[in-house]
Structure 1
């Protein structure tokens, strides 16, 4: 069973997938928004400082990559390009949160029957093994569901892993 997390620790450490517009809004205006393409270019030359003045770096556009590639290609892209980026980000800026912002609805994400894995449902209905490919199978048991309270109801805003090894 996946644990729920309602604290804001994910803004300061680890990496997250966030799709809730109310949650992403303040991050977009925080000056630390970068495109997926720009973030991946950092692997060739990392900036001396993380962008923005806050504790969070928001990377946008990842769902476009996942939508245009074949599912197997998208999973390979996550494993071979994005996961190493997450690991390097954590090694360099472990006191900052890394957030992959999705411009899609919560219905674009599905949990496997055992709640161990997060799948991304593409526009064509195909599924991409998101949490497994992005955070590795070893991190699957460490994935937390990010929630916020809205009038006494828990709203899922995304998913989080503290550390990718």
Structure 2
């Protein structure tokens, strides 16, 4: 997976971040939307986004919502409702807005298979043996496109960035 040291993820595309410093670079905690607010905004997006001088929307709660569902239901919901909402956001803002999913425990829940760049979500109890195939569900296994976000050289990854989901 390619490494990204640029700040492009703060201005465009879709990202999944788990590093608090990274989240703090784009918004105040009070500017983070709930997943419910995000889903309700589909089709009636605000003119200006709440974070990063009107360029970024940070959404919290995706992880908790996935944990409440069976793996089968989570896969369907992620590929249907959540992906549709992401596509709607992209259609509205194009390259003028960044969508960021804040996953505080994502470092331990997102698994990247290095040889193939497959990205999986590790399910929580009682489904710990299951994994959701993020790559297949959200970006159709276009595995060459997601990039690992790094804030500094020799740092742990802060998240994943995808420039445009189709």
Could you tell me the TM-score, scaled by structure 1's length? 0.87
Q: Once the 2 structures are TM-superposed, how far is the Cα of residue 87 of structure 1 from its aligned partner?
A: 1.1
Write the distance in 2 (CA, Å) between the matches of 1:5 and 1:92. Answer: 25
Query: How do residues 14-93 of structure 1 correspond to structure 2 at under 5 angstroms?
Result: 14-29=13-28, 32-43=31-42, 45-52=43-50, 53-93=53-93
How many residues align structurally?
Answer: 160
Deviation track 1:26-53 (CA, whole Å, cap 9, x = no partner) reads 434175421111111122x413413323
Write the distance in 2 (CA, Å) between the matches of 1:14 and 1:123. Answer: 27
Matched, 1:4 2:26: no
Tell me which residue corresponds to 1:110. Answer: 111
Gaps of 5+ in 2: none
Bigger shift: residues 77-86 or 28-37: 28-37
Matched, 1:153 2:154: yes
Cα gap change, 1:85/1:5 in structure 2, threshold over 3 Å: closer, same or farther?
Answer: same
Tell me which residue corresponds to 1:142. Answer: 145
Gaps of 5+ in 1: none
> Which of residues 132, 139, 142 in structure 2 aligns to 1:128?
132
Deviation track 1:114-149 (CA, whole Å, cap 9, x = no partner) reads 242211112222322223222332x33211111121
Q: Once the 2 structures are TM-superposed, how far is the Cα of residue 106 of structure 1 from its aligned partner?
A: 1.1
What is the SS of the residue equivalent to 1:24? helix
Write the distance in 1 (CA, Å) between the matches of 2:148 and 2:114. Answer: 15
Write the distance in 2 (CA, Å) between the matches of 1:31 and 1:90. Answer: 23
Write the distance in 1 (CA, Å) between the matches of 2:107 and 2:75. Answer: 20
